[in-house]
Structure formats: structure tokens, C-alpha cells
Structure 1
């Protein structure tokens, strides 16, 4: 069985006048996170961890901030694309561990709800998702939210099976059928980032 490890990191400054979204949850707070999309620092880090684990580039290569389509976009779209990538590569999630670094709001009281939401978005069990939070003591980052994510993947099928399945998929509908076989759910990939050309380093976020 083949195993892969991926690591992701993201950071966003706080900004007044926008909602705070972390891990797919809207959180009551006086400020949200600045970003071209919804600024969901946790989902961005997880997305990068998943993409990195299968050597598929990073979030900026799929969803460049220069593209107006992703302005204020729901970051779960980015996560779905990463899930498509690992499925097509023939892998599935074993577990994921994350760390949020921010002065406020306090994550401890909502860590359980965050775990449930992230697990739902990833299609895994809550016990396979770690959510931890630290304060940025001594880092001079009181007005910034930082997220780290590490993911462990295992092969979902043999290389021979995967090659045969993907080679036979000539259309998006057929590729969706492959994904459904691998992860148990079919997603419309036409609006996602998988068809974007190889990444441009000028678009990294």
C-alpha cells in the first residue's frame, strides 16, 4: 500500500466589514479575514496539504487571485478540487491534523463544531480530523490568523486499476464516474480548477 504525506500553510490578516469564516463555519467576531475568496485560512491550508500530497501544485495554481471568478468564493470549492485531485491520483484520506494560530476569537469552545464541519467537507469521520489552536505569543501576529495542516493519504486502488480507469475516462461525466468509484460521491468538476493549466509562480498566494 502506498502512503503520501502533505503539508499546507496559509495566513490572512483580519479585516473589518467582512464575515469571519474558518473551516467552513461562519463565526461571530468583530472582523473577518482579508482574501480574494472568503479568506478561510483553515480550508486553504488543508487544500494545499491535499494538493501537495499528490504533487498537484497549490491552491494558487488552480484558483489564481487574478481570476475574478474566485472573488468572495466559498473555499469549499477549492477543497472539492483537491479531493478530486487525490481521488484521480488514486488516494484517500487516512487522517488530517491542523493547527490554528490566532489571538482571537477563541477556538476551543467551537473546536468540536469545526471538527464536524471539516470532516463533513472532507467526507471522513470526525475522529480522523484534528483541530488545535494556539495563541501567537511572542510572534507579533495579533492581527493575523495562521493555519497549518498535515494530511496522511493511502492508496485507494492499485496503480494498474487506476491507470485502466482513468485511461477509459474521455469525458467529464466518465471522470466523475471514476471519482465516484474512488470516493463514493460524484462531483461536477466542470466548474472546479482541475482543468486549469500548470501553475504560474506569479499566481502563488
Structure 2
């Protein structure tokens, strides 16, 4: 079994007139996040972490902002592509940890909802997703949302081909048969002990008085 670690980062400025979506979850807020797609900063960071873990490039490799097809697209589409790349590489998610850095809205009150939304999109348990929040104190980023994501992957167990398992089972069965023959030859009622270096008595001991 092999392990892979991936790290992702993304940032978006707040913008009026667009909905705020984080982790695939619509959030009530006067401003949303500017971006070519829906601006979901958290899913973008997770997508990059997944792609990076399997050396598949980054989100811009698959969905360049210059492509009009992705204008306003849901970031869950990007995430699904990253999950496919992970599966193709022969890995699965062990757990994922994230940090959101923003002044508003407050993330702590909705952290559980975010965790459930992200875990559902990833196809993992909520307990395998970490959602943390920090304020950008001293960073002069009060009007920006930043996301960091780290993911741990492990290789999938590939089942042995049926034909190989069958051959091994047959070989084991043959060995068992051979062993039974040897055992019967050693402990059977009519064994020849001369080959073992033992001497057979020349007379019947029952005749001794």
C-alpha cells in the first residue's frame, strides 16, 4: 500500500451581485466570490489538492478560465473530475483537512453543514473531512476569501485475477493430497519400519513365559 499527500490553495475577492457558495453550500451573505466559475474557493482548493496528490496538474489544466464553457460553472464539476483522476491513478481518499481564512461570514456556525456538504461531494464520511476557520488578522485581506486544503490518499487494493487464485487453490490442494499420502505411509497400520532403521523382533514376544 502506498500513500500520497496533496496540497491545494485558492483565493477569491468578494463581489456584489453574485451568490456566495462555499463547499457547494449556498450561504446567505450580501456578497459572493468573484470568479470565472461560481467562485467556490473551498472546492477549488480541494480540487487542486486531489490533482496534485496524483501528479495530474491543477484546476487550470482541466478548466482554463479562458474557456467560456466554464463561465459560472458549478465547482462540483471540477471536483468530480479530480476524483476521477484519483480513481484512475488507483487511489482513494483517507481524509482531508481544510482551512478557510476570511473576515466574514463567520464559518464556525456553519462548519458542520460545510463538512456534510463537502463529504457528500467527495463520497466520504463527514468525520473524514476537517473544516477550520481563521480571520485574516494583520494580512489586509478583509475583502478576500482564502482556502487551504490538504488531502491524504492511499492506494486501492487490487484483487487478484480469478485464474491466479484458482491455480493457487489447486496447487494447495495437490500439496495437501501429497502430504496425506506421506502421513498415511508413516503412521498407517501396515507401514514398513525397516526403512526407518528399526529392527523387527525375530520372535513373537507373546510366546515368552
Q: Which range, TM-score by smaller chain?
A: 0.7 to 0.9
1:27 and 2:50 are equivalent in the alignment: no
Report deviation, 1:157: 2.9
Residue matched to 2:68: 68
Q: 1:159 to 1:99 in 2, by over 3 A?
A: farther
Q: How many angstroms apart in 1 are the aligned matches of 2:129 and 2:40?
A: 17
Kindly indicate which of the two structures has a greater share of residues assigned to helix. Answer: 2
1:49 and 2:49 are equivalent in the alignment: yes
* TM-score, scaled to structure 2: 0.76
Higher relative contact order (Cα pairs below 8 Å, separated by 6+ residues): 1
Residue matched to 2:111: 111
* TM-score, scaled to structure 1: 0.77
Report deviation, 1:54: 0.0
Larger Rg: 2
Q: Where do 1:9-158 residues align within 5 Å?
A: 9-158=9-158
Q: How many angstroms apart in 2 are the aligned matches of 1:159 and 1:62?
A: 31
Aligned residues: CA RMSD: 1.3
Q: How many angstroms apart in 2 are the aligned matches of 1:83 and 1:159?
A: 21
Report deviation, 1:160: 8.9
Query: CA-to-partner distance for each residue in 1:8-67, whole Å, 9 max, x for gaps?
Result: 000000000000000000000010000000000000000000000000000000000000
Q: 1:143 to 1:160 in 2, by over 3 A?
A: farther
Residue matched to 1:201: none
Q: How many residues align?
A: 161
